[in-house]
Chains A and B, each alone.
Chain A
């Protein structure tokens, strides 16, 4: 009897308290997983934004929702297409609002947790504030934050999802940005053939193995394993496009020694992200290798010291190197339904 009373009391206490404190609905916490031998991210991007199933799903819905743009046609996903490793397939520049073009090639989205800065010039200092740039840029989504919040707050489905993820049905910019970060920050590429070889569940062909050796000798200094980038800013000796007059990192740092420096892109999913370079000027990997072989403009004072003598890659080596680079294609990530638009809110196809 006493036991029963105590249990009843216990239930009243627990039930009563959760009601009084208006605790948010139960959250399903997630953990960012990546191979054990990878370096730790420089900072925990989810330290003040605990990753949950609810936040992730909400972020995904936002990512594929055209209403984040002025005319409804330019969701995040219009420039970041999953089948192209979340870059824009076959476009040097992406299409923005009202038949405009972006000024740079849309970078793919994966392994963002390891990037201290985002964008080609490192203009963005935190994953959570990144969406503010495309959202408000006149040649991208061209919308104001006020309008986006107004549209979202008018949608009861969103209000329910924000309540579930953040305990607050009134949608504000902070929660919207944190949800988007939960989605984009969760996209990890770590299951290419290369990764499987590292795990011991696959093996390289002779040509891939040979290519791997060439890669380690000639590419790994900047495109460092296992992320295949050191996320630094370097000038790789491209002639400046005078129409764009894009000085890269210098535009952010105001430091002339940063002139023409751009972020070293990851080589993961390289076969899905053509065209190449910050302005998408090269259509094929053969062109890229030709550039490093003898296209580098060595007169530029900020040219990276590792490229002063160019990179000698023979035609025979090129075949093997390309075979190796193909093993960096992560089909699982690109086809993962978890990252795909779900049928109920299939994205509005943007203008392509």
Chain B
């Protein structure tokens, strides 16, 4: 009889363990939230797809049709005690989808000195088979003919482009060895997070910088990148310079 009761109790315990997500069993957390908003801008103004005409530093005019990029593997660092809090999440920022421009992460409440994130999708996620959510191939950010995620996509038109329909198309990717375009972006700024509260971080992505960072991109000369390799690396290097923290609001 007693054995049966113990059995019954164990079943309860067991079922409880399965039904409850692990984190709910721990004591109440001392966590808060950061809401990160990406503002894609050119000349200080929000990027307007299709309609706005922009001019790059080489006096080439262009319209943007698509602007999408992956942000993942966040890190929040406390410089004084040399501690880094990692947050392994992956998001697709898509200028055509307002709801994708803000993301919220849960982090321990404290005062951080800087934040970092991976611009792109890490090699593990690139080689782990079929994914869903932000990484669903339906998002049109996966190369079907050469497995791997397109980390950044910038497409549009320009009269200076000499290819079909005056297009330009930069599909920037590559996660392996020499051809890896992955870089961690560190943004230096005090970020205080209080328990249970949300701190907003506004990140400005100045897309205008893309054209003339370490590598000058003239649409007339380089209208297309569609494979991993040396060109993709240079373009990714340019892309990595566009981010800065515009504001932190508690």
Contact = CB atoms under 8 A, between A and B. Distances in A.
Interface in A31-77: 48-49
B4 A132 contact: no
A178 B130 contact: yes
Interface in A206-243: none
A298 interface: no
Nearest to B123: A125
Interface stretch (B101-109, B135-143, B205-213): B135-143
A247 B99 CA distance: 43
Interface residues of B, number: 31
A123 B146 contact: yes
B146 A252 contact: yes
Contacts of B11: 10, 13-14
Interface string B85-119: 00000000000000000000000000000000000
B145 A6 contact: no
B228 interface: yes
A135 B144 contact: yes
A174 B15 contact: no
A133 B144 contact: yes
B244 interface: no
A145 B146 CA distance: 16
B20 to A, nearest CB: 10
Chief secondary structure at chain A's binding surface: helix
Residue among A137, A145, A146 with max Cβ neighbours from chain B (10 Å): A145
A125 B146 CA distance: 8
Contact of B137 (A2, A17, A173, A181): A173
A20 B15 CA distance: 11
A145 B129 contact: no
Contacts of B138: 145-146, 149, 173
Given A129-B137, A254-B228, A21 B18 contact: yes
Contact of B147 (A20, A126, A172): A126
B13 to A, nearest CB: 11
A125 B126 contact: yes
29 contacts: A3-B1, A6-B1, A6-B5, A6-B8, A9-B8, A10-B7, A10-B11, A13-B15, A17-B15, A48-B128, A123-B147, A124-B146, A125-B147, A126-B130, A126-B147, A128-B129, A129-B142, A132-B137, A133-B145, A137-B144, A173-B130, A173-B136, A178-B129, A181-B130, A252-B146, A254-B179, A254-B227, A254-B228, A254-B229
Interface of B: 1, 4-5, 7-8, 11-12, 15, 18-19, 126-132, 136-138, 142, 144-148, 179, 227-230
